[in-house]
Amino acid sequence: MTSSTDPTSTDRTNAGTASKGGEVSRPGLAFAIGSYVLWGFLPIYFIALAPSGPFEIVGWRVVLSLVFCALLLTVTRAWRPFAALLRDRRIVLTMGLAGALIYVNWQTYVYATVSGQVVEAALGYFINPIVTVFLGVLVLRERLNVTQWVAVGISILAVVVLAVGYGQPPWIALVLAFSFGTYGLIKKRVGPKVDAVSGLTLETAWLTPIAVVILVVVGSTSGLSLGAHGPWHTVLLLSAGAITAIPLLLFAAAARRLPLIYMGFIQYFAPFIQFLVGVVVLQEPMPPERWVGFGLVWVALIVLTFDLLRGARAARRQVVELT
């Protein structure tokens, strides 16, 4: 996944942000669905960039995302609050670490899509919510209830089954899930101090020197593909910044309007679409052991969703009792 914010790490205060009268915000639903549908079809975009390689794609993605964010800050006249963030050394360093993690995530994801491993990339985002729960135990010392432990246990069994089927652990899925899960924890620490555009601007600002070096290396070895394969390819590659930022902005708008539980459900749109792209469009192989592994992951997600619904009902009852 390529977002700069993990829905499972959204501030818990979002859990009660439904519109007045208990009605769910329709614009919020539209923004959320739009963001995850765009993320779901992202593999097709990267595949359409052939013959560009994964390192060149991510290099341009970083640089052009920074350019796009700078334009957004200019149009929205948000340079002054962004400059205020730069004076907070802790935030700047934290966003640097977040940038390193999102670079690992982006590079792994693009490599997976252009090398015909979209299904495994989808697996990474299916297990991401479970990994986030697991990281909460390891890093934040959170306590899981029995249902959550069952979900974690089933997901571990799924990884074992897939490892046996692959002949090795599903490294791409694990790197994607743990890099994005850790990224989400870091963003949670920053909290509401950093909005979506400012966050992506800081992250890509940290990464741009690395991206420039990568582009120089690619240019001096295999050669850059930008401008060398026709106007359509050039336009697609130059759109990388907007294609990165637009789903993020839609997600940020949705997170302000929807309860956390709705964001939790809608987040599965992206890996489900990616899975369909890999199986139906790209016709990647799905041997029986892979189906069993994915089936176990989906069971774990059902268990986790059940726990989420139960927690939401309990919270609502508590609110009613207090009022």
pLDDT in tens, 241-265: 999 888 888 887 787 777 766 776 7
Neighbours of 60 (CB within 10 A): 24
pLDDT in tens, 41-90: 999 999 999 899 999 999 999 999 999 999 999 998 989 989 999 999 99
What is the structure's pLDDT at 5?
A: 43
- Does residue 310 belong to any structural domain of this protein? no
- Does residue 271 belong to any structural domain of this protein? yes
Q: Is the dihedral of CA 98, 100, 4, 245 positive or negative?
A: positive
- Does residue 63 belong to any structural domain of this protein? yes
Label residue 15 by pLDDT band (50, 70, 90).
very low
Stated pTM of the model: 0.84
Domain that holds residue 64: 24-143+170-287
Sort 140 into a burial class: Cβ within 10 Å, 0-12 / 13-18 / 19+: exposed
CB 70 within 8 A of CB 201: yes
Check residue 77 and report its DSSP letter.
T
**pLDDT over 80 (residue 191):** no
What is the structure's pLDDT at 6?
A: 43
- Does residue 132 belong to any structural domain of this protein? yes
pLDDT in tens, 126-138: 888 888 887 877 7
- Nearby residues of 134 by Cβ (< 8 Å), 6 or more positions away: 152, 181
Q: Picking from 163-167, 195-199, 282-286, 293-297, which range would have the lowest pLDDT averaged per residue? A: 163-167
Please state the length of the chain: 323
Domain count, the chain: 1
d(CA 50, CA 73) in angstroms, rounded, equals 31
- Nearby residues of 19 by Cβ (< 8 Å), 6 or more positions away: 25, 28, 257
- Does residue 257 belong to any structural domain of this protein? yes
- Does residue 183 belong to any structural domain of this protein? yes
Label residue 141 by pLDDT band (50, 70, 90).
confident
Cα–Cα distances in angstroms (integers) from residue 145 to residues 28, 152, 158, 211, 300, in the given order: 30, 11, 20, 43, 14
- Give the pLDDT mean for 35-39: 91
Q: Picking from 109-118, 172-181, 247-256, 293-302, which range would have the lowest pLDDT averaged per residue? A: 247-256
What is the structure's pLDDT at 148?
A: 80
Q: Which helix (H) or strand (E) holds 266?
A: helix 260-266
Q: What percent of the chain has pLDDT over 90?
A: 43
- Does residue 233 belong to any structural domain of this protein? yes
- Does residue 320 belong to any structural domain of this protein? no
